[in-house]
């Protein structure tokens, strides 16, 4: 019997360990994501933060040899329960990757509509409205509204990444996972995405992996520091950056390693 | 200039000239064939060549309408049989072919790719012509399809593998089932490449003669029944070119020119498809 879900808690991992074959990339991590907040995952390369993120929408299990122990609760419900359909689950949790991944054969419109149509036929007007809504929320509508039928590849890198955000938002997910979304963008594109995080957290619970500590400080409410697969510290962002409790965290954010 | 640098430049110049001459020889062979075909065959190309059937030996006139239609039917049916199997196999190999079965299928495809076409013809004769009791266009199509499948499978696999892994992940993260990811995103992205592979495959079997000798057999009359023997351009060329009449040899040249033209047309279409793909990737 699951305890009643805390209305303020959207997502929670309980003693989550993620493995590739017999090698654990994430070890025994328990972490809570309050509703409509931004949580940043930081840490040096290879610390397991991307693997952790990929456990939250069950993408990790698609990797070669990927499996987990522990639990991941979305609104109190274990997403790894055998009764949960991973494909349906992924429609409730949007994801944006390091590099923009627009579908090259589809138009801008079709890219955004892709996640809606996979659910089966919907009235045209409904799809139109959802596409426009998603593009507006991704702050891309004004730039593309006159060329929705053009190839998505004609957009700049920053626009493509916002298109991917729009594509992730169109199916109305509860959670948005961002895996270093600005890693391949210029400063202007980075700024747009960061502004988006602020706007989007009024509707979505966001988890962002980033290498950029300033970015974590700018966009997040909570920051989690990972090192060698362990969760070293989690706290309110301003506290973690100003008075970290762990020596490792302090060393990392002051640039002494990693 | 130091002696060493001089030597380098000499070697470089000699090698460049050498490969230039070699490529010229390669192109020259093609040009000679084409030129010879046009010179010998073009004069016989008239309206009746395309619309009339062959006339009995000794008479002049007549055309190869039956062979042109036959080529289209036999190669078309071969494509109809071979394309779905070949493309499907290629998709399987690229998407699910990492295991033992994939390895076996890949190995068999490679062996089949290197099998002489006449051997495939013999098998088609054993399996189809003999049980049916008579030669048929269908048996010819099956033989050509068997030649086509391994080619298509390997090309499709290569093209699908070229699609970046990140696209697959993006589709799966959107809640696409795996089969839908394969068809709607991966196969569609690789489509131009797959189409090109198909056209090249079709062009290659369109000129095949050996596997048709004891399957489709050939037919002096106009026939569109796939259960009956049927004429093709390659068979017509074989018969006419080895025949004793000047008139036949004249027609053989013309038929060769038409066959070459058909294959060239397919290749050009393939080129065009490739350009479209690169255009889309920009």
| B185 to chain A: closest CA residue | A103
Q: Does B3 touch chain A (CB under 8 A)?
A: no
Q: Does B188 touch chain A (CB under 8 A)?
A: yes
Mean pLDDT of B93-122: 91
| pLDDT surpassing 80 at residue A1 | no
Tens of pLDDT, residues B22-53 = 999 999 998 999 999 999 888 888 888 888 88
Mean pLDDT of B67-75: 93
Tens of pLDDT, residues A162-215 = 999 999 999 999 999 999 999 888 888 888 889 989 889 999 999 999 999 999
Burial group, residue B106, by CB count within 10 angstroms (0-12, 13-18, 19+): middle
- DSSP lists the bridge partners of residue A29 as A16
Nearest by CB to A151, which of B174, B185, B280? B280
Per CB-CB distance under 8 Å, the chain B contacts of A171 are 174-175
Mean pLDDT of A39-66: 92
Task: For residues B215 and B210, give the distance between their C-alpha atoms in angstroms, rounded to a whole number.
Answer: 9
Q: Note the pLDDT of residue B150.
A: 95
Residues in contact with B219: Cβ distance below 8 Å, sequence separation at least 6, in sequence order: B66, B70, B228, B229, B230, B231
Residues in contact with A203: Cβ distance below 8 Å, sequence separation at least 6, in sequence order: A36, A137
- DSSP lists the bridge partners of residue A32 as A12
Nearest by CB to B175, which of A97, A164, A171? A171
| pLDDT surpassing 90 at residue B153 | yes
Q: Note the pLDDT of residue A257.
A: 73
CB-CB under 8 Å, A167 with B175: no
Query: What are residue A145's phi and psi, to 5 degrees?
Result: -60, -25
How far CA B123 is from CA of B142, B147, B176, B212, B227, in Å, comes to 10, 12, 43, 11, 18
Query: Where do runs of H (alpha helix) occur along A38-174?
Result: 49-55, 86-92, 108-117, 124-137, 141-144, 157-169
Please, what CATH class does the domain formed by B49-281 belong to? mainly alpha
| pLDDT surpassing 70 at residue B237 | yes
Q: Mind listing the domains of chain A with CATH numbers?
A: 9-253 (3.40.50.300)
Residues in contact with B50: Cβ distance below 8 Å, sequence separation at least 6, in sequence order: B63, B64, B65, B68
Cα angle value B264/B29/B258 (rounded, 5°): 30
Task: For residues A243 and A189, give the distance between their C-alpha atoms in angstroms, rounded to a whole number.
Answer: 31
Q: Do A248 and A232 meet the contact criterion of CB atoms below 8 Å apart?
A: yes
Residues in contact with A248: Cβ distance below 8 Å, sequence separation at least 6, in sequence order: A225, A227, A232, A233
Residues comprising chain A, all counted = 258
Per CB-CB distance under 8 Å, the chain B contacts of A151 are 280
Nearest by CB to A118, which of B164, B166, B174? B174
Higher pLDDT, A7 or A24: A24
Task: For residues A84 and A65, give the distance between their C-alpha atoms in angstroms, rounded to a whole number.
Answer: 20
**What mean pLDDT is reported for chain B?**
89
| A102 to chain B: closest CA residue | B167
Task: For residues B260 and B251, give the distance between their C-alpha atoms in angstroms, rounded to a whole number.
Answer: 14
- DSSP lists the bridge partners of residue A74 as A11, A77
ipTM for this prediction: 0.89
What is the count of residue pairs from A and B with beta carbons less than 8 Å apart? 66
| A112 to chain B: closest CA residue | B174
Q: Note the pLDDT of residue A11.
A: 93
8-state DSSP, B115:
S
Nearest by CB to B173, which of A95, A104, A153? A95
Where do the structural domains in chain B lie, given as residue ranges?
3-44, 49-281
**What mean pLDDT is reported for chain A?**
90
Radius of gyration (C-alpha) of chain B in whole angstroms: 23
| pLDDT surpassing 50 at residue B280 | no
Tens of pLDDT, residues B202-235 = 988 998 999 999 888 888 888 888 888 888 899 9
Q: Note the pLDDT of residue B269.
A: 84
Measured between CA atoms, how close is A183 to chain B, in angstroms? 15
């Amino acid at each position: 019997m699951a305890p009643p879900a805390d209305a303020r808690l959207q997502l929670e991992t309980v003693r989550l360990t993620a493995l590739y074959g017999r090698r654990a990339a994430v070890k025994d991590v328990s972490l809570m994501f309050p509703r409509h907040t931004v949580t940043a995952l930081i840490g040096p390369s290879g610390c397991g933060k991307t693997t952790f993120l990929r456990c939250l929408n069950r993408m990790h299990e698609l990797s070669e040899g990927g499996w987990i122990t522990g639990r991941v609760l979305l609104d109190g419900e274990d997403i790894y329960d055998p009764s949960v359909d991973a494909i349906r689950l992924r429609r409730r949790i949007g994801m944006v990757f390091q590099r923009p991944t627009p579908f090259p054969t589809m138009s801008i419109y079709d890219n955004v509509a892709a996640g809606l149509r996979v659910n089966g036929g919907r009235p045209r007007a409904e799809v139109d409205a959802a596409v426009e809504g998603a593009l507006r929320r991704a702050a891309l509508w004004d730039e593309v509204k006159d060329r929705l039928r053009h190839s998505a590849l004609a957009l700049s890198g920053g626009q493509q990444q916002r298109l991917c955000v729009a594509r992730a938002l169109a199916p109305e997910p509860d959670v948005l996972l961002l895996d270093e979304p600005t890693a391949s963008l210029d400063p202007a594109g980075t700024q747009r995405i960061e502004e988006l995080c602020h706007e989007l957290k009024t509707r979505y619970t966001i988890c962002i992996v980033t290498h950029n500590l300033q970015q974590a400080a700018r966009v997040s409410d909570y920051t989690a520091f990972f090192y060698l697969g362990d969760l070293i510290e989690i706290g309110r962002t301003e506290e973690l950056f100003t008075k970290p409790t762990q020596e490792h965290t302090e060393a990392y954010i002051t640039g002494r390693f990693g | 200039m130091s002696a060493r640098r001089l030597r380098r430049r000499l070697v470089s110049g000699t090698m460049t000239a050498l490969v230039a001459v070699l490529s010229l020889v390669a192109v020259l062979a093609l040009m000679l064939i084409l030129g010879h075909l046009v010179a010998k065959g073009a004069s016989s190309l008239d309206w009746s060549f395309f619309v009339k059937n062959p006339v009995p030996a000794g008479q002049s006139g007549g055309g190869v309408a039956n062979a042109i239609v036959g080529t289209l039917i036999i190669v078309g049916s071969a494509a109809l049989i071979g394309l779905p199997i070949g493309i499907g196999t290629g998709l399987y190999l690229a998407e699910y072919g990492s295991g033992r079965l994939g390895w076996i299928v890949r190995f068999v495809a490679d062996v089949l790719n290197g099998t002489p076409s006449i051997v495939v013809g013999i098998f088609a004769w054993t399996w189809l012509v003999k049980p049916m009791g008579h030669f048929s266009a269908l048996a010819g199509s099956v033989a050509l399809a068997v030649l086509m499948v391994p080619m298509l499978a390997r090309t499709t696999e290569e093209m699908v593998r070229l699609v970046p892994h990140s696209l697959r992940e993006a589709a799966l993260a959107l809640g696409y089932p795996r089969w839908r990811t394969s068809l709607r995103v991966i196969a569609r992205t690789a489509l131009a490449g797959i189409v090109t592979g198909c056209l090249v495959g079709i062009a290659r079997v369109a000129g095949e003669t050996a596997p048709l000798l004891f399957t489709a057999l050939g037919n002096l009359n106009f026939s569109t029944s796939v259960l009956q023997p049927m004429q093709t351009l390659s068979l017509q060329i074989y018969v006419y070119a080895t025949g004793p009449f000047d008139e036949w040899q004249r027609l053989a040249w013309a038929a060769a020119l038409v066959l070459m033209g058909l294959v060239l047309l397919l290749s050009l279409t393939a080129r065009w498809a490739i350009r479209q793909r690169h255009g889309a990737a920009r």
